[in-house]
């Protein structure tokens, strides 16, 4: 897979995503949820108030577990809280994994908890291994400085974007 990306266009298109990681505020949480266009975590005052933990200026993971969010929404909210450990998941990145990982045994599940287990075990592991396997290519990309954003988050977002594009094609 070739990781040549027009990096500034990428950064600009994902500005609200990176703004969250530069400064975790309630307003930036609203922006990043709108950026992702989450269907079940619409940035309504009730959802934002429930997700936002004013005491530690972060997402309340207990509330994320309690709410009836889809696996994509839950995975994204976990990603916002722990961006290195939880990659973004959507149908395109999942499709990329099914294509690229010949050892992955995909079965369509009627039970959502099985699909969640696929994400928790399968996609997270795939993403981490894929990231490690392509470390050299990723390190050759000149990563711009974005105020307050850890470069590891930017590198993983580049890989996420590449998998998203591959799965979409």
For residue range 19-48, list pLDDT tens digits in order: 888 888 888 888 888 888 765 556 566 667
Structure confidence by residue, pLDDT tens digits, 73-122? 778 888 888 889 889 888 888 889 888 887 666 555 445 455 566 666 67
Higher pLDDT residue, 7 or 155?
155
* Residue in the structure block whose two tokens are 């722990």: 82
User: How far is it, in rounded angstroms, from Cα 75 to Cα 18?
Assistant: 17
For residue 93, what are its two tokens? 């990145």
pLDDT in tens, 122-134: 788 889 999 999 9
Tens of pLDDT, residues 4-21? 444 555 556 777 888 888
Q: Which helix or strand (DSSP H or E) is residue 59 part of?
A: strand 58-59
Longest dimension (CA), the chain: 45
Q: What local confidence, expressed as pLDDT, does residue 43 receive?
A: 57
CB count within 10 Å of CB 62 equals 10
50 or 64: which leads in pLDDT: 50
- pLDDT computed for residue 127 by the predictor: 92
Q: Which pTM does this prediction carry?
A: 0.77
pLDDT above 70 as % of the chain: 66
Residue 1: its pLDDT value, please? Answer: 42
Position 128 scores a pLDDT of: 92
Spatial contact of 104 and 130, defined as CB atoms under 8 Å apart: no
């Amino acid at each position: 897979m070739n990781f040549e990306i027009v990096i500034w266009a990428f950064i600009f298109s994902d500005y609200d995503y990176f703004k969250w990681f530069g400064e975790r505020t309630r307003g930036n949480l609203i922006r990043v949820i709108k950026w992702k266009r989450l269907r079940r975590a619409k940035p309504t005052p009730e959802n934002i108030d429930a997700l936002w933990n004013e005491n530690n200026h972060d997402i309340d993971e207990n509330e994320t577990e309690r709410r009836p969010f889809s696996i994509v929404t839950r995975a994204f909210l976990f990603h916002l809280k722990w961006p290195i450990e939880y990659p973004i998941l959507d149908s395109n990145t999942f499709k990329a994994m099914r294509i690229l990982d010949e050892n992955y045994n995909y079965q369509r599940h009627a039970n959502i908890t099985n699909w969640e287990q696929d994400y928790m075990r399968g996609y997270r592991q795939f993403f981490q291994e894929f990231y490690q396997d392509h470390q050299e290519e990723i390190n050759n990309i000149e990563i711009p400085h974005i105020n307050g954003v850890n470069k590891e988050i930017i590198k993983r977002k580049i890989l996420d974007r590449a998998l998203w594009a591959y799965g979409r094609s």
